[in-house]
Amino acid sequence: MSQPEQGNGRTPATPVSGVDDGEHRRLAPRPLDRPAVDPSLTAAFGRPQGVDTAFDARRPPLNGQVPMAPPPPEALSTAFGRPVGGDDLKLQRPPGADHAVDPDIDPVFWDGKPAGDPWRDPGSGAVIGPPAVGEKSSGPSSAKAAPGPQLSVPELLFGRRVKPVGLVLLLVAALLVGTAGGLVGWFFGRAGNPLTDGGVTLAEVKPAKERPVGSVSDIANRTTPGVVSIEFKGSNVAGVGSGVVIDGEGYILTNDHVVAPAVQDASAKLTVVFTDGKRAVARIVGRDSKTDLAVIKVEVTNPTVIQFGNSDDLEVGDSVIAIGSPLSLSNTVTQGIVSALNRPVTAAGENGGPQVTYDAIQTDAAINPGNSGGALVDSSGALVGINSSIQTQTGNSVGLGFAISGNYARKISEALIQTGEVKHADMNVNARSASAETAEGAQVQNVPAGGAAAAAGIVEGDVITRVGDRMVRNAAELTVAVREHEIGETVPVVLARQGRELTLQVTLKSD
């Protein structure tokens, strides 16, 4: 017991157990503050009646023994139990004691030095670090944050960096695998189908193409039934030509040289063969040897008739289609263009007959022997010409074919159907082609007395260069230029005589 201190005017402290105040003086314990307890809480949480301690002495132990708690799990015992081999019953080891350390347990990472992680060091101070948010600056910040790194293609595709070499190798490997798979599939596909062996090439098949209105196929389907084959056969002659049905009564327009052999041989017979195979015997209605046109007739019902078009509307370059029976091949269709217009064509007459002269449509559509008398139709399917002759040195087509103008053929056919013959306007002169350094035309060789030329004052030696509105460049063109006019019509004729140009009015007469 400590002695009471002297001279400080204080009553000596009562010697009781207490707390040292740092000057080796003992302080009295503080008085207990026992607040009043709520009766409801006492009833809920207080000791049962008759129990004064923390243990109920009235409850006898089971089997004379105090029940013990079950042993803790091994994991908890290992983590929180007493050290292995220790007999110390205290949970806390006294400081400075030499304790056996389990070699399997790692020592603390700070090992007597200040810990890097204050949350793990029980001796660290209460203040861990500065506030999470610093003081706000008084003014706006002028510095802008630098943009972060952007993802490259490998990082975007694969989520991490990939070396370019690795990416290239990956692509090469993928190509090799795909190529190998394709070759294997191709090999098995070829091996499984005998139709696709290496020695067979199959044509590419596409959906059926359309045949719009105005196509060659469409025109041929509509006009071919109106074109017929004409067969003539006798004891001395035989051949095949073509014709065009121009009237529902069975009238067929063709060339005169197609039917001429049947006229010369009394035993010959003309037979018309239609596209559907029907055959009919034909009779000659009329012939015009000077223009190489003729009309025949068959007795049929409801034939397909081709409609006439306006051949004057044709221009060079227009598409045309030739239909006929070249080389005895019926229902043949060839396509081309108009190569020239108003081309005078002259040919020798049949068996010494009069010379054939007509104004022709020149075309490069293939025309061969047997096409004669067939149809030349335009892009609408209308008849614009009657195929008549070709210019050739081999006997076959070389791309120079001639057809009689459709308008002129229509005029001649109507006259033949009505009267059986045709009369043409004529100037009654004989002429030959002539050319000079300054002009060309038809030079008059003979002027029969009583003719239209003699009455107009045309004399031998005159060179005719124009008839009406048409220029004359040769003798054949003089003939076709005169035939464009009607019998009895007065036409201005321009001619050159002894270096002078004259214009005479000529009243045309019949041939």
CB atoms closer than 10 angstroms to residue 507: 14
Residue 442: phi and psi, rounded to 5, are -110, 115
Confirm if 386 and 411 have CB atoms less than 8 A apart: no
* Cα–Cα distance for residue pair 323/51, rounded to 1 Å: 134
User: In 3-state terms, what secondary structure has residue 87?
Assistant: coil
* Cα–Cα distance for residue pair 258/243, rounded to 1 Å: 9
* Cα–Cα distance for residue pair 439/460, rounded to 1 Å: 18
Take residue 320 and report the two structure tokens written for it: 């045309």
23: left (phi over 0), alpha (psi -120 to 50) or beta: alpha
Instruction: Give yes or no: 257 in active site.
Output: yes
Q: Of the candidates 225, 227, 296, 223, which has an alpha carbon nearest to the alpha carbon of residue 255?
A: 296
Take residue 323 and report the two structure tokens written for it: 């239909």
Take residue 490 and report the two structure tokens written for it: 């007065």
Could you tell me which residues are beta bridge partners of residue 471? Answer: 466
User: In 3-state terms, what secondary structure has residue 420?
Assistant: coil
Could you tell me which residues are beta bridge partners of residue 387? Answer: 403
Instruction: Give yes or no: 276 in active site.
Output: no
* Cα–Cα distance for residue pair 308/294, rounded to 1 Å: 16
* Cα–Cα distance for residue pair 320/378, rounded to 1 Å: 5
Catalytic residue (choose from 257, 339, 397, 405): 257
- Mapping DSSP onto H, E and C, the string for 313-341 reads HCCCCCEEEEEECHHHCCCEEEEEEEEEE
Catalytic residue (choose from 325, 330, 372, 388): 372
Catalytic residue (choose from 256, 288, 292, 359): 292
Provide CB contacts within 8 A for 351, sequence distance 6+: 260, 264
Catalytic annotation, residues: 257, 292, 372
